[in-house]
Chain A
Amino acid sequence: MPAASIDVRGVSKIYNPGSQQPVKALDTVSLSIADNEFFTLLGPSGCGKTTLLRLIAGFEQVSGGEILLFGEEIAHLQPSQRSVNTVFQHYALFPHMSVAENVGFGLERLKKPKDEVVSTVKRMLSLVKMDHLADRRPSQLSGGQQQRVALARALAPSPKVLLLDEPLSALDLKLRQTMREELKQLQRETGITFVFVTHDQDEALAMSDRIAVMSEGHIQQIGSPTEIYEHPVNQFVADFIGDSNFLDGEIIAIEDDIVTCKIGSESVFEAENSGNHAVGDQVTLFLRPEKISLTHSTDESTDNHRRGKVSNIVYLGNEAAYTVDMGDGISLMAQARPKEDGNLPFAIDDDIAVGYSNRALRVLAK
Chain B
Amino acid sequence: MSKWLPKSAAARRWLGLTPAYVMIGIFMLVPISIMAVYSFLEPNPYGGVLPEPSVAAYVKLFLEYDLEDNLVFNPGYINIIFRSFQLSIMATVICLVMGFPVAYYITLQPENKRNIYIYLITIPFWTNLLIRTFAWIIILGRGGVIETPLLNLGIIDDSLKMMYTDGAIAIGLTYSYLPLMVLPIYASLEKLDFRLLEAASDLYSSRFQIMTKVVIPLCKPGIVAGCILVFIPCIGAFIAPNLLGGGKKLMLGSLVQFQFASARNWPFGSALSMLLLSAVVVALIFYARSARKKEYIQGTA
A/B contact in complex, CB under 8 angstroms: no
